[in-house]
Amino acid sequence: MSVKKIEVTDKSLFADGKVFGSSGQFYKIDGYINFGVDPNNVVNESIVDLKLAPSNNDGLVEFKSKFTLITPADTTDGNSRLIVDIVNRGRPLIHSNFNRNDLFDNEEGDGFLFNNGYSVLSLGWQWDVIETDELYGLQAPFAQIDETGFRGETVVEIRPNQVQQTHLLANRIHTPNIPLDINDPKARLTVRDWEDGPDTEITRSDWSFANVTDSGVKPSTDYVYMEKGFQPGKIYYLAYTPAKAPVVGVGMLAVRDIAAFFKKNSNLNPINTPFEKVYGFGISQTGRMQRHMLYLGLNLDEEGNKAYDGHIVHVAGARRGEFNNRYAQPSQQSAPGFGHMFPFADEEMKDPYSDSIDGLFNKLKQTNCVPKVFYTNSSAEYWRGDGANMHIHPIEEYDLNEADESRMYHFAGTQHIAGTLASDSVGPDGSIGMYKFNIVDYRPLLRASLINLDKWESNDINPPPSSCPRISDETAIKPEVLIEKVNDVLDINTPDPAKVWLIRRVDMGERANEGIGNFPAEEFETYQNFVSNIDDDGNETGGIRLPDLTVPLGSHFGWNVRHPDTKAPEQQIAMQGISIFFEIDEQSRGEKGDNRLSITERYNSKNEFLDKVKEQTQILLDQNYIVEDDFDIVVSACEERYDALISGNLKNEVK
């Protein structure tokens, strides 16, 4: 057992002792988990540089994770199900996604998870997260690298939204990946004008490892400096060899082994009772990490026990990421590299550009430990250039067969993060969109996914069928063709069809199969991409359609374009979508030149609108795409939007 010690630093009643239905009160337990793994155990052999890490007297490699466990005070009151919240860049996002606590002035939100008896464990796993009271990190071991010659490189991606002369040597605000030699002549800085544009190398004398201080520009191991400034709308990649090599992959071992641990009897268990089932939840970055864990077959602990019974892999698309390569920065999001590599689909297939035959589930099948997996995606992952590769052939136009153990659900007409009516102006990465961000709230669909996954694993009740854009029913379409259709419906700025996002076959050099990469990665042939088709109102037809799309008040997309103030307004911004509302009446739409029917032309009254919303919501309930308790939440959200539009409080905005 790799869990060696659990240090509890605080234990208190959660949410001021609130009672969550039949589940009763919950405890909140904070602390740290100490791990020790055997670098020679076969289940750990895929972890890059693990054998180069220092070991203790027992030959084990040690590391330590911050955690919070929220669990029923009386263990007999819960449902004996644990959800491991694989925190995103140190942030426990499970509560906003399932409990909707961003809509409430409390930590428990509406208590969906706890009312249903689930326990939640938020676990730190990322080596470079700077730990705070709110952020969860992992204290990783560092590899002892004695080799000469090429040791590998890292790449820092820089996407400015305003002119800046310096940038931290990290992806996001994390621990800097300091260079081995700040004067290294082999370090390279390249720039491209759009996502798939050609790279131009910037002369080494035009930039340096330095920072602007009160006494001028000084050499620095934490920052890169360019006097001319990094320009908004452009994409920079800085490649260099770092001084230290954290064993990044132990983060995945922590996530794996904590699931197996909590299913066993152990005197280390802070609640003294094992769980019957453990499910993983990852969102965006950590969804990609779940895919990476699945691909590596990381679902057996060192004693051969199955770790996870199921996973909800949310808004991850078809990518993996920098979770197990030397000098990896797990927050790396878009730069071509290890996260762009084949395979993309669960079932085995041949890479059209190489001799590789592989599937995401191959290693799991070899050890008979495939968990149940739900892949839930917004429209943004399709517009990111990779989402469709999970279920459509990457160069030929036909749908792939899905694995028996998985389902795929596209939440049609949504953006990466669930939308709300709350005002917003800046995306998660600091980007500013030209149009108001998408307001469609997909969380009722996500909540039902958890219940359906649990019923499938626990009671063998089949979940709803996969629902995503398909070639077979013409709901999948090439993005450049879709852009033409949007332009026929709406008079808005759309992405340049020649600059839409996509991914290519990548090569990180001759040691890439060891997890040691040469950056920036070389890019070659293109893997094709598809997005959802749209109806006459501009709303997507592929996937699960909430009443926002079937009884619409506007058109909802999974893409947005850059605001002109941040330059390159013909290019997409990451993750954010658009909602373009209908005009109130025929006169208004005539004045605006809007070809879409107005609200009053569609619905004679608010009651008629709500009756149609209830009909469509009932269909989703009958199909088990939502749960009964969320029926009123879906209807109320539509009513709120209707009232806001009719009153004039909600309008189309060009920022």
pLDDT in tens, 282-316: 999 999 999 999 999 999 999 999 999 999 999 99
Q: What is the pLDDT of residue 159?
A: 95
**pLDDT band for position 423 (50/70/90)?**
low
**pLDDT band for position 431 (50/70/90)?**
confident
Structure-model confidence comparison of residues 237 and 650, the more confident one = 237
pLDDT tens digits for range 384-422: 999 999 999 999 999 999 999 999 999 999 999 999 998
**pLDDT band for position 654 (50/70/90)?**
low
**Element containing residue 633 per DSSP (H, E):** helix 631-647
Q: Is the pLDDT of residue 184 over 60?
A: yes
**What is the C-alpha separation between 5 and 266, in angstroms, rounded?**
11
**pLDDT band for position 651 (50/70/90)?**
confident
Beta bridge partners of 406: 373
How many residues can be counted in the chain?
655
Closest Cα partner for 375 from 284, 313, 322, 427? 313
pLDDT tens digits for range 313-364: 999 999 999 999 999 999 998 999 999 999 999 999 999 999 999 999 999 9
Task: Give the DSSP letter of residue 241.
Answer: -
pTM score:
0.98
Question: Residue 96 is encoded by which pair of tokens?
Answer: 């906003």
Question: Residue 513 is encoded by which pair of tokens?
Answer: 């199969």
Q: What is the pLDDT of residue 148?
A: 80
Q: Where are the strands (E) in 351-412, listed by range?
A: 357-358, 372-377, 406-410
Closest Cα partner for 277 from 86, 118, 73? 118
Sheet-wide strand order for 235-240: 154-158, 235-240, 188-192, 200-202
Q: What is the pLDDT of residue 622?
A: 98
Sign of the Cα pseudo-torsion (26, 31, 36, 42, in order): positive
Cβ neighbourhood burial of 163 (10 Å; 0-12, 13-18, 19+) = exposed
pLDDT tens digits for range 396-406: 999 999 999 99
What's the average model confidence in pLDDT over 480-508? 96
**What is the C-alpha separation between 501 and 559, in angstroms, rounded?**
11
**What is the C-alpha separation between 509 and 153, in angstroms, rounded?**
11
Question: Residue 40 is encoded by which pair of tokens?
Answer: 């020679």
Q: Is the pLDDT of residue 655 over 70?
A: no
Q: Where are the alpha helices (DSSP H) in 17-98?
A: 94-98
Q: What percent of the chain has pLDDT over 90?
A: 95
Q: Where are the strands (E) in 417-493, listed by range?
A: 476-477
Where in the chain are the domains?
A: 154-240
Cβ neighbourhood burial of 362 (10 Å; 0-12, 13-18, 19+) = middle
**What is the C-alpha separation between 352 and 401, in angstroms, rounded?**
17
* Cβ 497 vs Cβ 424: under 8 Å: no
Mean pLDDT of the chain: 96
What's the average model confidence in pLDDT over 29-46? 98
* Cβ 375 vs Cβ 316: under 8 Å: yes
Cβ neighbourhood burial of 435 (10 Å; 0-12, 13-18, 19+) = buried
**pLDDT band for position 424 (50/70/90)?**
confident
Q: What is the pLDDT of residue 177?
A: 96
Compute, in degrees rounded to 10, the torsion defined by CA atoms 95, 99, 103, 105. -70
**What is the C-alpha separation between 520 and 508, in angstroms, rounded?**
8
Q: Where are the strands (E) in 412-486, listed by range?
A: 476-477
What's the average model confidence in pLDDT over 208-223? 98
pLDDT tens digits for range 441-479: 999 999 999 999 999 999 999 999 999 999 999 999 999
Compute, in degrees rounded to 10, the torsion defined by CA atoms 376, 379, 384, 390. 40
CA 445 to chain centre: 16
**What is the C-alpha separation between 84 and 123, in angstroms, rounded?**
7
**What is the C-alpha separation between 213 and 403, in angstroms, rounded?**
55
pLDDT tens digits for range 127-158: 999 999 999 999 999 999 988 889 999 999 99
What's the average model confidence in pLDDT over 508-532? 97
One DSSP character per residue, 278-337 reads: EEEEEETHHHHHHHHHHHHT--B-TTS-B--SEEEEES-TT---SSSSTT--TT--SSSS
Closest Cα partner for 451 from 618, 619, 628? 628
pLDDT tens digits for range 544-592: 999 999 999 999 999 999 999 999 999 999 999 999 999 999 999 999 9
Q: Is the pLDDT of residue 636 over 70?
A: yes
What's the average model confidence in pLDDT over 171-194? 96
**What is the C-alpha separation between 473 and 199, in angstroms, rounded?**
38
